Chains A and B, each alone.
Chain A
Amino acid sequence: MKFTPIQLEGNVNVSKSHPLIELLWLLGGLVLLTGLVFFILGVTADWAVSKTPIKIENWIGQLALNEFPAEDNPALEQRLQALLDSLPEDSALHQYDFQIFLSDTEDVNAIALPGGNIVVFSGLLELMESENELSMVLAHELGHFAHRDHLRRLGRGLGVAVAATLLFGEESAASNLISKTLLTFQEKYSQDQESAADQFGLALLTRSYGHAGGATDFFSRLEEDAGSKLPYILASHPHPQDRIDALNEQIKKKHYSIAKIQPLSLEL
């Protein structure tokens, strides 16, 4: 039998597309897909949260509170009560049974936990210089409750994790990748929530004191340490300068007055 050796040019077994172009297409598709998933999950979570009665939230709150070692503080309670008294009649916040605690930690932060619990860290108190500042921070946290932000974040986070595991199986590389991408979307959403809480806080502060003095003082102090705006693109809070600008704009728009602010009393 005759044998004819033939050297083939080209290779049928390898596709001719360029890998970088394929990468671009795939990444574009991934971003689109996760954006869609995030949007749908968000709408569903928001709807579910708005239907959750406050009683259930209080129950979740008790569980969360056990994670933070904190104690009662009557002086803080007094200030919180002053703010709560100046809430409008129809505010949903009246349904909450608010409790405020002080935690002896150096963090400069205050947290709103489900169920009406607010935990203030002592590191934050040390930076405070006026009553109005403290009330602004407390009012900001009340804003989170009014919009039910903490439940939304819980709902979304849960929804994302469940969806990724359902579609890809546990521990697979694809589910890791998708979770990381979704997390990036989540941070941007969180920044919007913070801005909305700022606005609510400003409105409540003005109702309580009659003027908007001291609203931006705390953020100015944060801004000194903040540095460039670049790391804040993916952070959960907006850059302090952006927050100050937004607040000042609102003050101007609503013609809030600025009057004398009261210094912080020594009990704290």
Chain B
Amino acid sequence: MGILLQNFDLVIFLVLAVLGYTAGSWAEKKHYRSINQREKELIKLVVVTAEGSFPPERIADAALVSGSVVVSIDYFKRLLAILRNIFGGRIKSYESLVDRARREAILRMKESAKKRGASIIINMRLETATIGRSANKKKSVGSVEAIAYGTAIVMNK
């Protein structure tokens, strides 16, 4: 017991890392499954980054739609990122984070467009930002915000 108390901060660190790894990878798998399933459902809704041109009599309604999400990383991923910072190269643990965030944002935008009855979203743009780092630089964990927005067009029947 004494040795645990002596190296208390090391023990805390290990516990957090293991917790981050297990809980984090479970949450990630769950999220990806949800994303894949919803993408299959919404695949008929067209999203393009181009501006289309449509004959005006066919358009019933056009409006801005957007979807956004903030995803946080777990302790284990942050540890990997710090180690990577020393050696350089691709931070593989963060790739899945931003990928999930963006796909989720696009899906939410599509859902919002579907509610209006739109069949196409044009001129889609994606922005990413990081939140939660400015307050306390040392202890922060880090999170990514992704926002997708575009113009949803409802066609005349």
Contact = CB atoms under 8 A, between A and B. Distances in A.
B83 A178 contact: no
A234 B92 CA distance: 33
A266 interface: no
Interface in A147-174: 168, 171-174
Nearest to A233: B3
B56 interface: no
Interface string A58-84: 000000000000000000000000000
A231 B3 contact: yes
Given A3-B46, A5-B44, A227-B2, A19 B93 contact: yes
Interface string B34-64: 0000011001101000000000000000000
Nearest to A178: B86
Nearest to B119: A3
A23 B90 CA distance: 13
Please give me the 5 A-B residue pairs with the lowest Cβ-Cβ distance, nearest first: A26-B83, A5-B43, A15-B92, A13-B99, A14-B96
A178 B3 CA distance: 23
Interface residues of B, number: 29
B130 to A, nearest CB: 15
A19 B83 contact: no
Interface of A: 3, 5, 7, 11, 13-15, 17, 19-20, 22-23, 26-27, 29-30, 33, 168, 171-174, 177-178, 227, 230-231, 234
Interface of B: 2-3, 6-7, 21, 25, 39-40, 43-44, 46, 76-77, 79-80, 82-87, 90, 92-93, 95-96, 99, 137-138
Contact of A19 (B2, B3, B76, B137): B76
Contacts of B138: 171, 173
30 contacts: A3-B46, A5-B43, A5-B44, A7-B39, A7-B43, A14-B92, A14-B95, A15-B95, A17-B92, A19-B80, A19-B93, A22-B92, A22-B93, A23-B79, A26-B80, A26-B83, A27-B83, A29-B83, A30-B83, A33-B86, A173-B82, A174-B85, A174-B86, A177-B82, A178-B86, A227-B2, A230-B3, A231-B3, A231-B6, A234-B7
Contacts of A27: 83
A248 B40 CA distance: 77
